[in-house]
Amino acid sequence: MPLEKYQYVSNVWRDGIFDNKVVFCTGGAGTICSAQVRAMVHLGANACIIGRNVEKTENMAKDIETARKGSKVIGIGAVDVRKPEALVAAAERCAKELGSIDFVIAGAAGNFLAPMDQISANAMKSVIDIDVLGSYNTVKATLPYLIESAQKHKTDGKTQPPNGTGGRIIFVSATLHYAGTPMQGHVSVAKAGVDAMAMSVCIEQGPKGITSNVIAPGPIADTEGVARLSQSEAREKSEKAIPSGRYGTVKEIADATVYLFSDTGNYVNGEVLVVDGGQWHTSRISSGSWEYPDFLLSGSSVTGVAGGKTSKL
């Protein structure tokens, strides 16, 4: 059943602004990235979403297609973003079947809760490989198509682009590394690398017409991340600590995406757009029963959440 439009994109955007455009998204079956893609599809784009789980990715592609009659969304599962050849093949299929790649969302990520002294070298490497190397592989695989799109859809800020916009990439990051976050050192390191990569893409590829920006979501309600990485009894308390007084919604991340990809984002390049209700400015270093520094000094493992450290990592 199709979702109500306001669940994933605001009514301020005009239908059709992404007509005949194609968005390529890694991590596209996730709650945040799927909303970003759904908004783009509703506003005229076709899409290709990439994921590791075949069934989940293909089913999400079919679900996103309901956002607009006549849309086409390809779901490509069994793709590990750490393997460049897999992303090259996915990008080639996307461009061949849908005609181009105009927008890219690098959203694949990995996370769990654990202090640094409990993280194995393999676990650290795994998170960095998924977030940083995965984003790099995504850029490498799609950059030729983005450059081609950017040349076709040049903007000067003075006249409305006759063929719309193109040649733009968004990296999905986080705010964890701004002030430091206990039990998230591995992800903080990875996301700092993603932010740096986005700036390098801006500097090096901007002269070719590419825009490269970061969206850094804060705590977003009803997402896998919040469900896996926070204790339910602590969520009400943490909401009160956010200046806006609530968790965000996936629609608000999708709106930020439309802003950066559309005509409104023409002159925004190399920037980090934080969408967190001001949360990182007032973030606390204690959450639920993990009181700082007592919990870290105890040597205990994180319990009570789905996203704690597991032995396989």
Residue among 191, 212, 238, 251 flagged as catalytic: 191
Rounded Cα distance between 279 and 182, Å, is 16
Check residue 131 and give its pLDDT: 97
Rounded Cα distance between 40 and 228, Å, is 27
Do the Cβ atoms of 37 and 49 come closer than 8 Å? yes
The length of the chain in residues reads: 313
- Per-residue pLDDT at 186 exceeds 70: yes
Check residue 289 and give its pLDDT: 58
Could you report the per-residue pLDDT of 108-146, keeping only the tens digit for each?
A: 998 888 899 999 999 999 999 999 999 999 999 999 999
- Per-residue pLDDT at 311 exceeds 50: no
Calculate the CA dihedral of residues 174, 177, 181, 183 and round it to 10 degrees: 80
Could you report the per-residue pLDDT of 6-64, keeping only the tens digit for each?
A: 889 999 999 999 999 999 999 999 999 999 999 999 999 999 999 999 999 999 999 99
Could you report the per-residue pLDDT of 269-291, keeping only the tens digit for each?
A: 999 999 999 999 887 544 555 56
Q: Supply the pTM of this predicted model.
A: 0.89
154 given a catalytic annotation: no
- Helices (H), ranges, 47-154: 54-65, 84-98, 121-128, 134-152
Q: Which residues contact 299 (CB under 8 A, 6 or more apart)?
A: none
Q: Ranked by mean pLDDT, which of 175-189, 212-226, 248-262 comes out on top?
A: 248-262
Residue among 100, 149, 173, 238 flagged as catalytic: 173
69 given a catalytic annotation: no
16: helix, coil or strand? coil
Domains of the chain: 17-298 (3.40.50.720)
